[in-house]
Every structure is written in structure tokens, then in C-alpha cells.
Amino acid sequence: MRFLGGNRPATDLTYADVFMVPNHSTVGSRLEVDLTTPDRVGTTIPVVVANMTAISGRRMAETIARRGGLAVLPQDIPVDVVTEVVSWVHARHPVYDTAITLSPTSTVGEALSLMTKRAHGIVVVVEDGVPVGVVTDGACQGVDRFSQLGQVMAEHPLTIPAGTDLPKVFDVLSGERVSAAPVVEGDRLVGVITRKGALRSTLYTPAVNATGQLLASAAVGINGDVAGKASALLAAGVDVLVVDTAHGHQEKAVEAVRAVRAVAGTTPVVAGNVVTAEGTRELVEAGADVVKVGVGPGAMCTTRMMTGVGRPQFSAVEECAAEARRLGRHVWADGGVRHPRDVALALAAGAANVMVGSWFAGTYESAGDIHDDGGRLYKESFGMASARAVKARTAAQSGFERARAGLFEEGISSSRMYLDPARPGVEDLVDGIVAGVRSSCTYAGARTIDELHERAVVGVQSAAGYEEGRPLPTSW
Ligand SMILES: NC(=O)C1=CN([C@@H]2O[C@H](COP(=O)(O)OP(=O)(O)OC[C@H]3O[C@@H](n4cnc5c(N)ncnc54)[C@H](OP(=O)(O)O)[C@@H]3O)[C@@H](O)[C@H]2O)C=CC1
Ligand SMILES: Nc1nc2c(ncn2[C@@H]2O[C@H](COP(=O)(O)O)[C@@H](O)[C@H]2O)c(=O)[nH]1
Ligand SMILES: [K+]
């Protein structure tokens, strides 16, 4: 990456401060771009879901890995639960979405409450593992919530035999005017496929481990028996370990990384967070394969307002990525991503992968429950250093210790993240990110993430320059 006109600004910058100019390009199509990440964690798109309780759970992990990304389970989740979630994610189908299933005697109320857990929009009614009907949201409207699904379901549903050619699936579903259908092996249900899902599966490559299972990752904190917890997570089968703390450039964090490295073998170890070359170097020397960059850019984060500490994210990523690359390692840009452009700019700055939290909170697949605010659907999100999260994390401590820890909050305890009715699923947001980044690459003349970093020419803009780039939904 170089600055336009060779003018490196004296001030640190964040994503909104910068733009990329197009280069002469020989990349003729956005489909020629390969977004496999150079960090060797196995992701085929540069999207990692942040380890936040309100966001990253089993459905998020499954859905994002199927499209080539990775979700990190938060450090607060007990090991036995992580173990169960990881084996569940590993057992998911790499192409077909997991079906929501109920029986003919289940109620419409149950179907409606489960329908928003996934974006595919159907409940499959099963008897002995065999689909006998399909229920859509439309079929549940205007009927008593206690009605049984056997009375409202569409019987003898269209089913797709597993292994059917994906363009054919798209054509069959389009021809039958249905958006989703159960997938069967023989007569037994193995999943669900949508029209969009068939399309996406031709564009995305699932992120899988050496045995072909969807990738799963989990975080470990820096307190307590770090090596013991890391070993338990490895025994649970996690494919990527993340050492997670606010201040990664502290002795305790460095020791935690050493402890994790000692037990991790060949499993990639990611550690953070830092914002300087020195912090990056110390974590790499302690054994991190990837260093996580970002102090204070997160949407739920109050650190900069509380402490004055942090660094504008574009410059933080640029400096840390340069140091990591010099040492043969990589960085993940963590926090502050609100638009596809931010992902592209993080990669241009040298990040190998980009962590997204709050933006994904407002989706069907995030971990929280859905709420209705006068017809607008939303989910609650909260920071991992908020009083709410600290309370949960310190549950085993004495009341005094918990109350004292609660005084050191550096995050928002409650925020509403509204679902975009046009893009309610996390895959809709990923489509936007991937389309944006592929396009950035062709503008820069890059076929890969490394080439985007090498070729990017970045300028600094005024607030008016940024504003000019925003679309205008209504007139002036
Ligand atoms: N990226 C970011 O900007 C930030 C991210 N977070 C997220 O919040 C979650 C909680 O992280 P964290 O607060 O590190 O909690 P942890 O429970 O992981 O513990 C942090 C440990 O570091 C010690 N510590 C020393 N200085 C600091 C400091 N300035 N801030 C925090 N801890 C410090 C703490 O001791 P003691 O409590 O005694 O001081 C404690 O032992 C994580 O998921 C983290 O990623 C939190 C803040 C900023
Ligand atoms: N200072 C705090 N940072 C937090 C908190 N919870 C999470 N985070 C960080 O934010 C990113 C995600 O950023 P987003 O803009 O995509 O939401 C996450 O990975 C953490 O590093 C918090 O309570 N305080
Ligand atoms: K912030």
C-alpha cells in the first residue's frame, strides 16, 4: 500500500478518513478475485465474527463458515458448552442449511418463534425424520397461535435430492415458485436449501478443516489456568484459538500467549488486542500466528471515551500489519467495521482478515433473541467489557469482587441493533462485503488479498469527501 502522491500524512487515520484510487487493472472480472485469506486459518473470505456473547453462537458459526468465514465463540462460554457447540458445527452440512424441524402436533406459535432463528424462512414438519410438510410465515398469519402445524402446513412438499446440481436446484425452486425446500437423502431430511443458497454455494467455498468439517473457533481469556482452558478447547476440537484481552500489550497477555502456544501444536493462535508495532512484535515472539489489532474502534466500546487510549483503526492496522508481515505473520483488523468499504480498506492496510461484531448483531443468526419495536425487529447487543458482560463473566466470584469489577466497565450494556428488512440474514451482509471487496480488488488491479495490499493507493479525504460517497435515498 502507498499513499497517493507519496504523501504519508502526519496524523493517524481511520477508515472514514481514507479512500482508494483505481489503478490500471488486468483483472477483467470480479469473479477472477480469490479472497482466500493469507493467514492460513482456513477462511476463504476475510470475515471473522467477533467473540461477543450477543453475536457469536452456534447458528452464526455454522452459517458464516459455510460461506467461508469464521466465528469465534466468546471466552465466557463454559468449556462443556463450547465442546457441544464445536461438535455440532463440525457435524453441519457444508452446503445445506440446518432445517428448523417441528412435528405435525407442534403449534403455530412454536413455528413463529423459531422461524426468525434462520434466514431460510421455513419450518419443516417431520415424522420419524421424514419431511411431511412445510410451514411458511405466510401460512401462520391469520390463524390461532395454538393451531397445530398439521392443519396449516403445505403437505407433500417439494423436496430436493441431496447432491442435485446447484444451478438445477435454483431452476427447480424458481420453476415451482418456492424460495426454500427440504433436502433429502432417500426420504430422510438432511437440510434445507434456498434459491439464494444454491446461488451462493456456487460463489463461496466453505471454510473447512483438514477433515472437511466447517471451521470452529473459541476464545480464551488471560486469567486463571490459561493452558488448561486452551487444552480443553483443543480437546473440544476448536480449529483456531483466540487469546482475548483488551490490553494485549501487557505481561499477563504475553504469558498467556506463551502458555497457549505451548499446548496448541499446529492449531493457529490469534492474540490481541494491540495497536502498535511493539505490541505486535511481543505477541508474535510469544507465539501468536496472528495478532488482533484494535483498541477502542468497536461499536459497543467506550474505552477511548473512558481512558483516552486507542488509535484510529486504519493507521493501527497499517503499522501492526507491516510489523507482522516483516516477521512472517499476519494481523486481523478488529472493530469499527460498518460498511463493506471498511473491510476493503483494512485489507489494503495489510490485514489478512477482518473481525466484525456489532454489524452482525442485527441478523437472524446472531445469538440474541429477537424483539419487535412497533414492527421493526431488533436484537440487543452489548460490549464484552460492559457491566452486563462482566457480571456474567465473574459469576463465580464473591459479590464484593463482582461489584468491584463492575466499576471498571468499558462497554455499552444495552444497545438495539435493528434488522434491515432487506438484509435480515448474516449471509445478506456477507454478500455485500464480498461483492464490495471483490470490486475493490478489480479497481486496484488485484487478484488476491496480498495483491490488494501491495497495489492499493490510498488518499486522505475531508468529511465532505466522505459524505459525497454516501448514497442519497431521498432528494436534497
Ligand atoms: N478491543 C478493544 O478495544 C477492547 C476489547 N474488550 C473486550 O472485552 C472483553 C473483556 O476484556 P478484558 O477487560 O481484557 O477482561 P479480561 O477478563 O480478559 O481480563 C483482563 C485482565 O487484564 C488486566 N488488565 C490490566 N490492565 C487492563 C486494562 N486496561 N483493561 C482491561 N484489563 C486490564 C485485568 O486486571 P484488573 O481487572 O485487575 O485491572 C485482568 O486481569 C474481551 O472480550 C475484550 O476483547 C474490552 C475493552 C477494549
Ligand atoms: N472497549 C470495548 N471493546 C469491545 C467491547 N466488546 C467488544 N469489543 C471489541 O469490539 C470488537 C467488535 O467491534 P464492532 O465495531 O464490530 O462491534 C470486538 O471484537 C472487541 O475487540 C467492550 O465492551 N468494550
Ligand atoms: K467506539
The winner for highest mean pLDDT among 51-65, 382-396, 406-420 is 51-65
301 part of the active site: yes
pLDDT reading at 395 higher than 90: no
CA 399 / ligand 1 centre spacing (Å): 20
Burial readout 362-371 (b: 16 or more C-beta within 10 A, e: otherwise): bbbbbbbebe
The whole-angstrom separation of Cα 341 and Cα 67 is 19
Summarised one tens digit per residue, pLDDT across range 307-337 is 999 999 999 999 999 999 999 999 999 999 9
CATH number for 100-194 (one of 3.30.300.350, 3.40.50.300, 3.65.10.10, 3.10.580.10): it is 3.10.580.10
Report pLDDT digits (tens) over 140-194.
998 999 999 999 999 999 999 999 999 999 999 999 999 999 999 999 999 999 9
Q: 275 C-alpha vs ligand 3 centroid, how far in Å?
A: 15
Per the prediction, the chain carries an average pLDDT of 96
Ranges of beta strands (E only) in 195-281 are 217-220, 240-244, 269-274
pLDDT digits (tens, 9 = 90+) for 19-43: 999 999 999 999 999 999 999 999 9
Residue 419 has pLDDT above 90, yes or no: yes
State the complex-level ipTM.
0.94
Residue 335 near residue 297, CB atoms below 8 Å = yes
Is residue 44 within 8 A of residue 68, CB to CB? The reply is yes
Q: What is the mean pLDDT of residues 2-28?
A: 95
> Is the beta carbon of 245 within 6 A of some atom in ligand 1?
yes
Q: Which of 48, 52, 304, 306 to mutate to test the pocket of ligand 2 (most atoms within 8 A of CB)?
A: 52
Give the Å distance between the CA of 73 and the centre of ligand 2. Answer: 14
Predicted confidence band at 134 (pLDDT cuts at 50, 70, 90)?
Answer: very high
Residue 293 alpha carbon to ligand 3 centre in Å: 14
| Res 288: pLDDT | 98
CA gap 208, 219 in Å, rounded: 19
**Sign of the CA dihedral with 319 first, then 337, 295, and 271 last:** negative
The predicted pLDDT at position 373 comes to 93
Residue 303 Cβ contacting ligand 1 at under 6 Å: yes
Residue type at 143? V
Q: Which of 140, 301, 320, 441 is catalytic?
A: 301
Q: Which residues are annotated as a binding site?
A: 244-246, 294-296, 298, 301
Identify the band that residue 221 occupies on the pLDDT scale cut at 50, 70 and 90.
very high
Residue nearest to atom 33 of ligand 1 (CA): 247
- Give the rounded percent of residues in the chain with a pLDDT score beyond 90: 91
> In a mutational test of the pocket of ligand 1, which residue from 56, 225, 245, 382 has the highest number of ligand atoms less than 8 Å from its CB?
245
Q: Label the pairing between strands 160-161 and 188-194.
A: unpaired
* pLDDT above 70 as % of the chain: 100
Instruction: Judge whether residue 407 has pLDDT over 90.
Output: no
* Predicted confidence (pLDDT) at residue 473 exceeds the cutoff of 90: no
pLDDT at 135: 96
pLDDT number for residue 397: 86
pLDDT of residue 222: 97
- Domain ranges for the chain: 2-94+206-365+421-468, 100-194
CATH 3.20.20.70, applies to 2-94+206-365+421-468: yes
Q: Give one word for 156, left, alpha or beta, with left for phi > 0 and alpha for psi -120 to 50.
A: left
Looking at 54-58, 309-313, 395-399, 413-417, which range is the least confident one? 395-399
Q: Which atom from ligand 1 is nearest to the alpha carbon of 294?
A: 1
3 has pLDDT over 90: yes
User: Quick one: pLDDT at residue 56?
Assistant: 98
Cβ neighbours around 260 below 10 Å, total? 28
DSSP for 283-334 reads HHHHT-SEEEE-SS-STTB-HHHHHS----HHHHHHHHHHHHHHTT-EEEEE
Residues 168, 170: Cα–Cα separation, whole Å: 5
Position 394 pLDDT exceeds 90: no
The answer, yes or no, to whether any atom of ligand 1 lies below 6 A from the CB of 157, is no
| Ligand 2 pocket, Cβ-based, cut-off 6 angstroms | 50, 52, 273, 294, 296, 298-301, 303, 334-337, 355-359, 383-386, 410-411
Query: Residue 400: enclosing H or E segment and its boundaries?
Result: helix 399-406
Q: Given the C-alpha cell 482475548, which residue does it identify?
A: 244
